[in-house]
Amino acid sequence: MIKAIIIEDEAYAREALKANLNNLSSEVTILGESESVQDALLLCKATSPDLVFLDINLKDGNGFDFLDQIAEINFKIIFITAYEDYVLKALRCGAVDYILKPIDSGELDEAIQKVMAITQNQTQERMTVVKDQFIGKNDRIVLRMQDSFQIVDFEHLMYCKADSGYTTFFLSDGRKFVVSKPLKDFVNQLPAATFVRTHQSYLVNISFIDRYDKTRFLFLKNGDKIAVSIRKKDSIMAKIFGGL
């Protein structure tokens, strides 16, 4: 049995979540509910939950205000949120589990199964990345691998390469990480000021570009060769080389 609490400032959303939980195969028992940061802290201390359903926006602050006041996060977290681009970007960069309002039972069940399978260290690391993204500190991303989660700092990420429905991340230290998601899923998660889409198959960190060859290839400082599409050539030249 999974002991859980709900931290959500909208009563209808709390009721909808409980109704959906009653229809799931996962055995989740709700120990209490809260709509504010301060009440949530008291509730969490009193119940010691295994799982917290946490809304981003609360009556007296946000979900991260609550997490900041927890000495040790020893529970799993599923965020509840409306469709807000900046919030979703933060959640996706941290590879955390979330459910959108209105709540879908299938997505809820899947989120519970996934979040309960990860370690507490992974939970803590991912929350740090999400919070950094949420407050505008956009300097890393968490990749959801087949059997682990990998934090990648943007300053070490040379480029991403698409291969069918997969994306490979190439780091400056020679490491490579393959993620089973298409490249388009990461375009908005990487800062546009630093990364440029040179081709449908490549997303490149301009800090690692060494030169452009007139055969429409970029050469990186490590020698890797990156294709540049005809239709993107002019915009890329303008961004990287000032239109020279």
> Which CATH class, in words, describes the domain spanning 142-241?
mainly beta
pLDDT above 70 (res 137): no
pLDDT at 84 (0 to 100): 60
Q: Report the share of the chain in percent with pLDDT over 70.
A: 90
Contacts of 29 (CB under 8 A, 6+ apart): 1, 2, 3, 4
Bigger pLDDT: 71 or 75?
A: 75
Q: Average pLDDT of the chain?
A: 85
Strand extents, DSSP E, the chain: 2-7, 28-34, 51-55, 57-58, 61-62, 76-81, 98-100, 140-144, 149-153, 157-163, 166-171, 176-179, 195-199, 202-205, 209-213, 217-220, 225-227
Instruction: Confirm whether 2-134 and 142-241 share one CATH topology.
Output: no
Q: Mean per-residue pLDDT for 110-134?
A: 79
pLDDT at residue 105 is higher than 80: yes
Residue 213 has pLDDT above 90, yes or no: no
pTM: 0.63
| b/e code 163-195 from CB counts within 10 Å (16+ = b) | eeeebebbebeeeebebeeebeebeebbeeeeb
Q: Is it true that domain 2-134 has CATH number 2.60.40.1180?
A: no
Q: Where are the domains of the chain?
A: 2-134, 142-241
Higher pLDDT, 99 or 89: 99
pLDDT at 92 over 70: no
